[in-house]
């Protein structure tokens, strides 16, 4: 059996601290947008089921329980993702430091 041939990859990426923090914040914002789309899709599913229940007159209790359990699991997953995003945001704020990101503080002595 031969050894795998792994190419030598040496990426040269030059990003400033400010750019890196901006990229991290952008990634959190994109994740928030994705989560909001998922929440809207789940709400649409619930509305469709409510509409179906109205047309049918009712839904079996077992179906309602399954829908409730699925929705509860979905919301639990969203809450966990939100907690992780908040944790990442707190770490980004710690990395940034107020004096590095607030240009109003740097300009106070110049006026």
User: Could you report the per-residue pLDDT of 13-47, keeping only the tens digit for each?
Assistant: 888 989 999 999 999 999 999 999 999 999 998 89
What average pLDDT does the structure give for the chain?
84
| Cβ–Cβ < 8 Å for 46, 67 | yes
Q: Which residue has the higher pLDDT, 38 or 67?
A: 38
With respect to residue 16, please indicate whether it lies within any of the assigned structural domains: no
With respect to residue 70, please indicate whether it lies within any of the assigned structural domains: yes
With respect to residue 85, please indicate whether it lies within any of the assigned structural domains: yes
pLDDT at 50 over 70: yes
Question: What per-residue confidence (pLDDT) applies to 49?
Answer: 85
Tell whether pTM > 0.85: no
**Domain enclosing residue 85, as ranges:** 21-97
With respect to residue 78, please indicate whether it lies within any of the assigned structural domains: yes
Query: Structure tokens of 94?
Result: 């710690």
Per the structure, the count of domains in the chain is: 1
Dist. CA 72–CA 51, nearest whole Å: 20
With respect to residue 10, please indicate whether it lies within any of the assigned structural domains: no
pLDDT at 75 over 60: yes
């Amino acid at each position: 059996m031969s050894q795998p041939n792994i190419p030598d990859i040496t990426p040269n990426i030059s990003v400033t601290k400010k750019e890196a923090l901006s990229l991290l914040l952008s990634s959190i914002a994109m994740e928030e947008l994705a989560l909001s789309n998922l929440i809207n899709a789940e709400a649409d599913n619930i509305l469709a089921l409510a509409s179906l229940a109205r047309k049918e007159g009712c839904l079996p209790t077992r179906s309602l329980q399954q829908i409730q359990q699925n929705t509860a699991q979905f919301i639990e997953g969203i809450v966990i993702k939100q907690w992780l995003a908040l944790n990442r945001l707190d770490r980004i704020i710690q990395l940034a430091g107020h004096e590095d990101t607030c240009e109003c503080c740097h300009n106070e002595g110049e006026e």
